[in-house]
Structure 1
Amino acid sequence: MKRILRLLGVLFTLIVVSVTAYAQGRTLDDAPELSDFFEAEVTRLERANELTGYETLADWERAKPVLRQQLFDMLGLDPLPRRLPLQPVVTGVVEHPEFVVERLHFQSLPGLYVTGNLYRPVQQAGPLPTVLYVCGHGQVKKDGISFGNKTHYQHHGSWFARNGFVCLTIDTLQLGEIEGVHHGTHRLNRWWWNSRGYTPAGVEAWNCIRALDFLETRPEVDASRFGVTGRSGGGAYSWWIAALDDRIRCAVPVAGITNLRDHVVNGCVEGHCDCMYFVNTFRWDYAKLAALVAPRPLLISNTDKDPIFPLEGVVDIHRQVRHIYQLYGAGDQLGLQITEGPHADTQELHLHAFRWFNRHLRNDLTMIEKTAVKFFEPPQLRVFADLPRDEVNTRIDEQFVAAAPPLSEQQLGQPGLLETYTAKLLDRCFQAWPEVDDVSREVRVEPGGTVEVNGTEQVVARLTFESQPFVELQMSVLHEAGTELRNLRRVVLVVSPGGALPEAAAEGIPGPAALLSLRPGVHGPWPGNESKQIQIQRRFQLLGMTLDGMRVWDIRRGLQVLRQQCPRLESIEIRCAGGCEPLVLLASLYEPPVSSIVVGALPVSEPAILNFSRTMSPGLLPELAGRRTKLVVLSAAR
């Protein structure tokens, strides 16, 4: 026995060491400039989002409906989809001496199937308090058949039914019986999700809302006593539904939240798929999400050695949310449970959650006598014998958030169209742009030697400047010897999306040329393999930005610096290189008009900018830019 205990001790030590190594491996020590950038951005957002900034309950109550609407929006639920008939079907029943399990499905949208198990006691005198259990990432699959993660978490539903509750456990999009996708940006390079404003978290939230709609139709259910819980991914979905829907009267999200610092600076994002995140349009830290549950009973539950929901971040969330509960005078309605353990579904986590629901949904303070036990083999809880052919689960990312349609001729003719869309883009796509006063005005001008361009010797002036804190850009200005920068009257600005531009790019350009490269250290590529590149890009989207969105700002800064260094300019022509046409056109909407923009072809693809294709069709961009400046399309000229 002692030998076994020693082996278990060694095994536990190895687990702790591996978890520590995993956490340390997610740091950005090999890219200090990038690390500094993320640190500065997170610090800025922490200050802007600190909940103790709400000094009175009236302050919070004014903000709360606005914040809730922002959350609907960031989940792709604004406007909210139509609540069409659910078409529920019970495909079978499994019986236990103490409870019954109904195998069922409903459609949260036409063809978007939600499979689940409804646990209810064999006998009940009337409607019972009901818990919606949302599942984490526990795959149960054999011989190519997915039985759904509801079967992995069946012991929770069984416990609730054995203790006087009804419980509906629903599958998630990715690990349900119909296997959808949670990993669009995590490993599938579906960066267009950013532009569409899509996240699978929105589908999970919508499925939870519709699950409550379904439960309200059941005679066994007391709809005035709804609770929600789940762990890991299910912990996150517990936050979504509890924050969005006041029908949830009591919530226990388990291992489903930490702060923005943990995700971005400490690298926890690398351990999470996209279903864990809203599209951070309004640049939240995650305590705002948690505070939307107040003043309803909320138990924040976690273990102390969880590498993807670290203890410090969880405690910080609780600290801030406690302030909001105290404003309500409802401090006793907020709990924090920290138990010993890793990222696992431990019994210690179960017991406190069960007692919380007994206390707040049944007014029952007795001790827990029955533990959570699995009673069934996964095939017994399977809903579909054959998967439905009309399912849209596997392609819901293409349709859940609608792309903006093209405008009609009549709409294009409406006054104020340009002003309307520049304001929309600022609000929906470019919230992360820095304040002008936060950007250094210092420009280093250094001689770069001479080159021969178009048979004429040109002097090279290299301009180094800050686009935003920790993002440094370089621009080379080529002009005739004997002419100073401040006396230039005409410049052609060539913009490239990546790498240093060779001075040869000025060939064929009559007169002075400025060459702007959009790949400083923060923009990548970064040290590491392809997976590392992906996880760094995902950090940007958690901050409410993308590389393309930052590059639009970089072009704006290039224009600002060019005008600053050449105050007598009368003409600026912009030429695009390397497919950056949409970025140049977007930048031109927010700076004083240039003389002309020359593009090889009109942009037909959408840039990877948060909410861009959700806000406007790509075909509208040249129309808007052309209303401010002359647009020359070389392919059309040919």
Structure 2
Amino acid sequence: MLIASFCCRPVSGQQTRQANNILYYLHGEAAAITNNFSPEDISPDEWKKLRPEYYHQFIEMMGFSMDKIRTPPTVTLTGTVQEDGYKIEKFYYASSPGLYVPGNLYIPDGIQSPRPAVLYLCGHAHGQKAHYQAHARRLAELGFVVLIFDTLQFGEVWGHHWGPYNQGWFHWYSRGYNPAAVELWNAIRGLDYLSTRKEVDMDNIGVTGISGGGSQSWYMAAADPRIKAAAPVCGAGTLDSQVGERRIDGHCDCMMPNNGFQIGFQEIGALIAPRALLIAQSDQDELYGMASTRDFYQKLSDFYTQFEAGDNVSLVATPGGHSYHETSRKAIFSFFLHHLMGKNIPPQQLEDIESNPSKLLPEERLKVYGESPPDGDLTPVIQDHFIEMPSPPTITDEEDLKKLRRKVKDYLLTRTFGAFPKEPTALDGKKIYQTADLAPFGNSTFSFTSEKGWRLKLNVFYRKPPEEKHPLVIILRSPGEERWDSEGFAQKVAKGQNVAYLEVRGTGEVGWAPELNWHVRRAAAWTGRTIASMQVYDAFRALTFARTLPGVDPEKISIAARDGMTAIALYAAFLDEQCEEVILQNPPGTHDQPSPKSGRDFPLEMLNVLRITDLYQLPALISPTRVVFEGEVPEAFNWSREILEKTGRPPFTMPG
């Protein structure tokens, strides 16, 4: 049967193949973030207005507040080592209750008045403060007070720096947790401690480190205005290079914030300006492309020039891989002497670090703890405590539920789904083909554009005359499903109704090899989205498109899904606000669950979602859309059941 009211222009297979490529798409989105912010084109007056918002977004993505009242941390001294020209105090401090940070403070001998200080932030090497002691030692010999402390991983107490990276803890994204936040907070609290020391001149504070310590040097200088000079080493590159060249695959999870606001390193660098900044980068670094670093530096340099501070930013390029070089080390020493002490000593006139292991202290001499860390140390489990998850909201009446729905939607649209296109792409619906078979009134396959670069299909089986308006049930196909699985599901939940089958990104024709999932999940988060949030957008757009189709009653569209895809159905309905019914089979009750290390399960994570809601709350939030469970109702959903009963709304139901 022909449906003359709908456009029948075919879509070529070549057109589809050129789109629907997840790697190409993510690279394009990373490039858009990189190019979206051009600091060289922003005047100082404009930046004065823009900076507070960028700063707030950066700090929020890190997972804490700089506004809360802080007192100096509690410090416990455990020993002192006297060396030639300086001493090393061994101590630990409580960065937050239960989070203990073991550190060494290098103090030059004979201090008569406050001295400039440098925070040395360790990279991810075994031994941490012992491994990098030569840098702290040399800075102390030059007259600086130096604080160096362990990171979460590879120090005296091992925590987890690698969650999504090698543990399968992609639910960190849903929590809004990133180990970079803990490291940054520890550094800020370390500086709070230094502010109590009479030996330290708080008007002249520097920060430096390599690799993870390099990225942390960027973060610390951007976050804390007490930093006067920063010298990150092998710690920054543009996002398009990171994603497009897949350099992120070698990175720890801390090397980029959970990017709910879609910022790049340009914004972080701009937050440092016009304070002194030295970027040190090796030219054959596996983790950072030199070309991207040079481009990044040039943009920042132009930005600094507008502040009449062009001399405050510089780049030192060194030969080799992801490592220090004598040239970069001496340049950093000269840089700090100039900007923190007012001494102009060329790098070539300075001595390098001590590289002979026999002349350095053994790790045991620098250890802070004895047989064990302090009782109650949260370092190994800080990922479960650093960001406090909200308790289920208390709802007493209909007005409470309306307020909660508005609050959740506003939050999700800015922090979880913020990467949705600001202006939706035209749906550009087309009919690919139709048959007189497979359903009483035939089958038509349509295509539409969900988002630029993604052309999806909606396969409609007409069990009712298409000349009339009838209800439609959209079935979300699941990744990796067996043939006829969705059709069998439809027979249970949509008997006699018009049915459409949808493949969202990550499934069917718009899927990708399972072994890519690990990369895609991490790369997507760096660009401010997740696989699940992209799938939600696809399903949401499909609902809009379905209302334009012949034979469809636009007020009677339902969406049905199984297993992990039920989360996609619920959020799509929540955003759509017009679904008649959502049908769920075997839904998960929460986003807060880990994955296998390979990342080859259903990706439930959505950035920051657990800071505001969880899956079990969605049936109440989408009301008056009805929720039907095919099979048992997981216990977690009792919260929504109780809220619906309390507010007098129709409860969710079982089929039949």
TM over 0.5: yes
For 1:600 and 1:38, locate their aligned partners in 2 and report how far apart those are by CA, in whole Å: 31
Q: Tell me by how many angstroms 1:499 deviates.
A: 4.5
Deviations 1:578-631 (A, max 9, x none): 33223212111222512222224675212411010112243332211014x222
For 2:507 and 2:318, locate their aligned partners in 1 and report how far apart those are by CA, in whole Å: 41
Comparing 551-560 with 205-214, greater Cα deviation is found at: 551-560
Whether 1:162 aligns to 2:141 is yes
SS at match of 2:140: helix
Whether 1:35 aligns to 2:23 is yes
For 2:547 and 2:514, locate their aligned partners in 1 and report how far apart those are by CA, in whole Å: 38
CA RMSD of the aligned region, Å?
2.4
Q: For residue 499 of structure 2, what is the amino acid of its counterpart? A: A
Q: For residue 616 of structure 2, what is the amino acid of its counterpart? A: G
SS at match of 1:321: helix
Pick from 371, 378, 397 the counterpart of residue 363 of structure 2: 378
Deviations 1:117-176 (A, max 9, x none): 111112222111100000111113xxxxxxxx1111001111111111111111111122
Correspondences of 1:216-235 after superposition (within 5 Å):
216-235=195-214
Whether 1:298 aligns to 2:277 is yes
Whether 1:491 aligns to 2:472 is yes
Q: Counterpart of 1:113?
A: 100
Q: Counterpart of 1:533?
A: 517
Whether 1:417 aligns to 2:404 is yes
Pick from 620, 626, 630 the counterpart of residue 626 of structure 2: 630
Quick check: 1:491–1:514 contact (8 Å CA) kept in 2? yes
Aligned CA distance change for structure 1 residues 585 and 31 (closer, same or farther; 3 Å) = closer
SS at match of 1:565: coil
Aligned CA distance change for structure 1 residues 516 and 207 (closer, same or farther; 3 Å) = same
Correspondences of 1:54-65 after superposition (within 5 Å):
54=42, 56-65=43-52
Whether 1:543 aligns to 2:531 is no
Pick from 562, 572, 576 the counterpart of residue 587 of structure 1: 572
For 1:595 and 1:33, locate their aligned partners in 2 and report how far apart those are by CA, in whole Å: 33
Whether 1:516 aligns to 2:515 is no
For 2:129 and 2:18, locate their aligned partners in 1 and report how far apart those are by CA, in whole Å: 41
Q: Tell me by how many angstroms 1:429 deviates.
A: 0.6
Aligned CA distance change for structure 1 residues 632 and 239 (closer, same or farther; 3 Å) = same
Q: For residue 33 of structure 1, what is the amino acid of its counterpart? A: N
Aligned CA distance change for structure 1 residues 278 and 439 (closer, same or farther; 3 Å) = farther
Q: Tell me by how many angstroms 1:230 deviates.
A: 0.5
Aligned CA distance change for structure 1 residues 404 and 441 (closer, same or farther; 3 Å) = farther
Q: Counterpart of 1:611?
A: 608
Quick check: 2:425–2:450 contact (8 Å CA) kept in 1? no
Q: Counterpart of 2:321?
A: 342
Q: For residue 134 of structure 2, what is the amino acid of its counterpart? A: H
SS at match of 1:450: coil
For 1:527 and 1:587, locate their aligned partners in 2 and report how far apart those are by CA, in whole Å: 25
Pick from 307, 312, 315 the counterpart of residue 333 of structure 1: 312
SS at match of 2:343: coil
User: Under a length normalisation based on structure 1, what TM-score does the superposition of the two structures give?
Assistant: 0.88
Quick check: 2:28–2:240 contact (8 Å CA) kept in 1? no
Pick from 179, 184, 195 the counterpart of residue 163 of structure 2: 184
Q: Tell me by how many angstroms 1:323 deviates.
A: 2.6
Q: Counterpart of 1:6?
A: none
Comparing 197-206 with 566-575, greater Cα deviation is found at: 566-575
Quick check: 1:470–1:522 contact (8 Å CA) kept in 2? no
Comparing 408-417 with 392-401, greater Cα deviation is found at: 408-417
Aligned CA distance change for structure 1 residues 410 and 84 (closer, same or farther; 3 Å) = farther
Pick from 534, 540, 555 the counterpart of residue 556 of structure 1: 540
Whether 1:574 aligns to 2:559 is yes
Correspondences of 1:8-87 after superposition (within 5 Å):
33-54=21-42, 56-78=43-65, 83=70, 86-87=73-74
Quick check: 2:124–2:154 contact (8 Å CA) kept in 1? yes
Q: For residue 595 of structure 1, what is the amino acid of its counterpart? A: E
Pick from 222, 227, 249 the counterpart of residue 270 of structure 1: 249
Q: Counterpart of 2:3?
A: none
For 2:73 and 2:121, locate their aligned partners in 1 and report how far apart those are by CA, in whole Å: 18
Comparing 311-320 with 208-217, greater Cα deviation is found at: 311-320
For 2:189 and 2:267, locate their aligned partners in 1 and report how far apart those are by CA, in whole Å: 24
Q: Tell me by how many angstroms 1:433 deviates.
A: 1.1
Q: Counterpart of 1:387?
A: 373
User: Under a length normalisation based on structure 2, what TM-score does the superposition of the two structures give?
Assistant: 0.85
Quick check: 2:330–2:350 contact (8 Å CA) kept in 1? no
Q: Counterpart of 1:96?
A: 83
Correspondences of 1:189-338 after superposition (within 5 Å):
189-338=168-317
Quick check: 1:471–1:520 contact (8 Å CA) kept in 2? no
For 2:509 and 2:217, locate their aligned partners in 1 and report how far apart those are by CA, in whole Å: 35
Q: For residue 442 of structure 2, what is the amino acid of its counterpart? A: V
For 1:362 and 1:422, locate their aligned partners in 2 and report how far apart those are by CA, in whole Å: 51
Deviations 1:332-380 (A, max 9, x none): 1111111222211221111000000000111111244432115211111
SS at match of 1:252: strand
Q: Tell me by how many angstroms 1:32 deviates.
A: 8.4
Q: Tell me by how many angstroms 1:522 deviates.
A: 9.8
For 1:520 and 1:417, locate their aligned partners in 2 and report how far apart those are by CA, in whole Å: 31
Deviations 1:53-78 (A, max 9, x none): 42x21111111111111111111114
Q: Tell me by how many angstroms 1:79 deviates.
A: 7.0
Aligned CA distance change for structure 1 residues 409 and 506 (closer, same or farther; 3 Å) = closer
Pick from 443, 453, 456 the counterpart of residue 470 of structure 1: 453
Deviations 1:407-457 (A, max 9, x none): 1124873354322321121011101112444344233331256236xxxx4
Quick check: 1:150–1:170 contact (8 Å CA) kept in 2? yes
Aligned CA distance change for structure 1 residues 78 and 449 (closer, same or farther; 3 Å) = farther
SS at match of 2:268: helix
Aligned CA distance change for structure 1 residues 280 and 599 (closer, same or farther; 3 Å) = same
Comparing 518-527 with 119-128, greater Cα deviation is found at: 518-527
Instruction: Flag as ranges the 4+ runs of structure 1 deviating above 4 A.
Output: 29-32, 79-82, 519-525
Q: Which runs of 5+ in 1 are unaligned?
A: 1-28, 141-148
Q: Which runs of 5+ in 2 are unaligned?
A: 1-16, 592-603, 634-652
User: How many residue pairs end up in the alignment?
Assistant: 592
Q: Tell me by how many angstroms 1:528 deviates.
A: 7.1
For 1:467 and 1:301, locate their aligned partners in 2 and report how far apart those are by CA, in whole Å: 42
Comparing 602-611 with 112-121, greater Cα deviation is found at: 602-611
Aligned CA distance change for structure 1 residues 524 and 398 (closer, same or farther; 3 Å) = farther
Quick check: 1:84–1:109 contact (8 Å CA) kept in 2? no
For 2:510 and 2:155, locate their aligned partners in 1 and report how far apart those are by CA, in whole Å: 36
Q: Tell me by how many angstroms 1:524 deviates.
A: 7.3
Quick check: 1:133–1:168 contact (8 Å CA) kept in 2? yes
For 2:64 and 2:585, locate their aligned partners in 1 and report how far apart those are by CA, in whole Å: 37
Quick check: 1:182–1:273 contact (8 Å CA) kept in 2? yes
